[in-house]
Amino acid sequence: MSGLFVTALTLSHYRSHRMAQMELDGRPVALFGPNGAGKTNILEAVSLLSPGRGLRRAAAGEIARKPEALGWKISASLQSLGQVHEVETMAEFGAARSVIVDGKAAPQLALGRIARVVWLVPAMDRLWIEGAEGRRRFLDRMSLSFEPRHGEAVLAYDKAMRERNRQLKDQVRDPSWYQALEGQMAAAGADVMANRQAAGARIAAAQEGAETSFPKAEQRLIDPDGNDPIDSAADLRDALREGRAKDLRAGRTLIGPHRIDLEAVFAAKGVPAKQCSTGEQKALLLSLILSNARALAQDFGAPPLLLLDEVAAHLDQDRRAALYDEICGLKAQAWMTGTGAELFADLGNRAQHFEVTETGGTSKIEAQA
């Protein structure tokens, strides 16, 4: 069986899970149980089978089970494009996270070559009405799903920008201090913008070609003034040079990819996402996530692992059933959480169902017939 899915998952001293094992067969995974039982911890563990800090953006030292002063470990068997890979990611107590793929130490980037992971968590339900920072993170996660090296470009840009900001705060005025940093920012920033725009184009195309129960969301990248952003290295370098005086007064860099926002419109109604109802905003988010998955199925060769935490929130029964139909039509292994088994009744035997409970501070996972 080709595609992309987890066939076995083991968690050791991972948050609320002292030791947990799951055997899987490629179908979607429905996890239900009371709040605080450890369902989202499982999704976070799966998210760490991709590059980056996972769906909670947690540092390695924040993940280990408390109060034991031990490290943590995730082990998974991954079926990816007809091949089986054994993946381990872990952190000893007080140490950074490491990755082992098929028995050999590997950089996190190697995870992006064998698995793609896309997620939607409850905090993102307010994506369209809160600050631009969350939308940039959402945009960068979509970009990373298509281009595993996108994270390196973002880090390179941020590192050079932080150093430039230090110079600005210290009121350094010698242009020689800025030229090299601005060159680094321009080169990395152009890569960041190219990846973001390519991801947006792929998702737009996937929305155009799909028959779906979820509304189309038109997307656009804008700068703080609502204009098209600067995206070439030469233009960004020039803008940084020309903006030094203004940046010196502010003590920080006021132009560049770190200031870009993602604007979305409910296409059928012509209404900005931020003005839509709560249910419509959730449907627009799901539309983008599903389009991301459809585009990855074409580009990568298989749909990504979909992590949908508390996905039933703000969805009526009809739209919930439509979501499950689309997931199954994609043949994606979606990992979904909810408080009750009834939320996943429409999936029936198209999914594996697991109850997650917590006793004495330890989570337990039990497969349901």
pLDDT band at 240 (very low <50, low <70, confident <90, very high): very high
When the pLDDT of each residue in the chain is averaged and rounded to a whole number, the result is 94
pLDDT of residue 94: 85
Question: Residue 55 pLDDT > 80, yes or no?
Answer: yes
The pTM (predicted TM-score) of the whole model is: 0.92
Both tokens of residue 196?
Answer: 């973001």
Q: What SS3 state is found at 248?
A: helix
C-beta separation of 367 from 62 below 8 A: no
| Closest among 203, 340, 215 to 271, alpha carbons compared | 215
Question: Residue 2 pLDDT > 80, yes or no?
Answer: no
Question: Residue 1 pLDDT > 60, yes or no?
Answer: no
Say if residue 67 is preceded by a cis peptide, omega within 30 of 0. Answer: yes
pLDDT band at 293 (very low <50, low <70, confident <90, very high): very high
The CATH number given to 1-116+301-369 is 3.40.50.300
pLDDT of residue 33: 96
pLDDT of residue 250: 97
Residues 188-217, mean pLDDT to the nearest whole number: 93
> pLDDT tens for residues 157-201?
999 999 999 999 999 999 998 999 999 999 999 999 999 999 999
Say if residue 28 is preceded by a cis peptide, omega within 30 of 0. Answer: no
pLDDT of residue 65: 86
Cα–Cα distance for residue pair 157/59, rounded to 1 Å: 20
pLDDT of residue 314: 76
pLDDT of residue 217: 93
pLDDT band at 9 (very low <50, low <70, confident <90, very high): very high
- Domain borders along the chain are 1-116+301-369, 128-299
pLDDT of residue 66: 80
What backbone torsions phi and psi does residue 141 show, to the nearest 5 degrees?
A: -65, -40
CA 70 to chain centre: 27
The H or E element spanning position 362 is: strand 362-368
At which residue do the structure tokens 């947990």 appear? Answer: 20
> pLDDT tens for residues 301-352?
999 999 999 998 778 889 999 999 999 999 999 999 999 999 999 999 999 9
Its CATH architecture, for the domain 128-299, is Up-down Bundle (1.20)
